[in-house]
Amino acid sequence: MKKILVPIVFSMALLVSCSCPKENAPEKEKIAAVVNKYAAIQHKQIEIDGVSIFYREAGDPKLETILMLHGFPSSSHMYRNVIKELSNEYHIIAPDYPGFGFSDTPAMDQFEYTFKNITSVMDKFVTTLKMDKFYVMMQDYGGPIGMRLATINPNRISGLIVQNANMYLEGLGEWPQHLSVLMKNNDLEGLTKFKDHLISAEGIKAQYYEGAPDPSKIDPISYLSDVAFFDRKDIRKIQLSLLDNYGTNIAKYSEWQAYLREHQPPTLVVWGQNDKFFSKQGGEAFSKDLKNVETHFFDGGHFMLEEYPKEASTLIRAFLKKQ
């Protein structure tokens, strides 16, 4: 497997190769070997209730763990750059949900594609991996899944890292509002057309570029990977089913806000303020319910981690060191 090296590995290599006292060389070689081992992103699979779940793992399991939950229309691939930045200091687990990325895609008559059921699979996933305590990083769909996990077992949540994952009505942006108007007007033709656009190649690409001030920072492999996954049999039907199920998340906003007020998880908000799905007001709203919250806005879109992976990672690192 190709290894992805972080800067510290290079530093360790220099230490080992320098003209240091020979008695220290074996110890330095040992340290370099450990760093090199955990600098690589491992690509793994585990079976949960008969469904093969793909996940990326990096970093030493003895370190603080971050569970990274991806959004729509992406997969754990969206976190690749952040994983590289943080894996020398933290243990990271980033799964693909059923029907996403490299995880299995059970037939719709064999698996219920709802946020509740996907959360059930993710709950069993973290239990199987013996993840007793962890931070949750969540974007878009990762928000409703992550918050369901948090309310199932609040004691295992060390804190939250929120990247354009909405929990407030005021955070519903231009595109959700457009969908709401179509539904209220019973415009079934317009509703179908807009949802079909969101899951089309053109629509997936737009979700990366809309609101991005510098398109050159968007790696084409990001949206092209999503398009390739969506081109598989029945994936678009599954995604439409989940889009139709999204209203169940809005109904839980008040419950999740109550969780924030009661449990007060340390929270970092990094938010692309030009997001067409979730507006800047959604990022600002966390400060209504949380005492220990840091909020940072970027001139970016829904997938601002494509544009600002190093900047976001620096904020995450500083936030975690304070806890």
The residues annotated with a catalytic role in the active site are: 302
Q: Residue 234 — left, alpha, or beta (φ > 0 → left; ψ -120 to 50 → alpha)?
A: left
Choose among 199, 249, 237: nearest CA to 106.
237
Enter the tokens of residue 281: 């007001």
- Looking only at the bridges linking them, the beta strands covering 51-58 and 91-95 are antiparallel
- In the block, tokens 């779940």 appear at 53
Q: How many CB atoms lie within 10 A of CB 256?
A: 20
CA distance 32 to 30: 5
Residue whose token pair is 């980033």: 94
Q: Which residues contact 308 (CB under 8 A, 6 or more apart)?
A: 270, 298, 300
Instruction: For residues 103 and 94, give the distance between their C-alpha atoms in angstroms, rounded to a whole number.
Output: 12
Closest to 239 in 3D by CA, of 78, 77, 115: 115
The residue behind tokens 């019973």 is 186
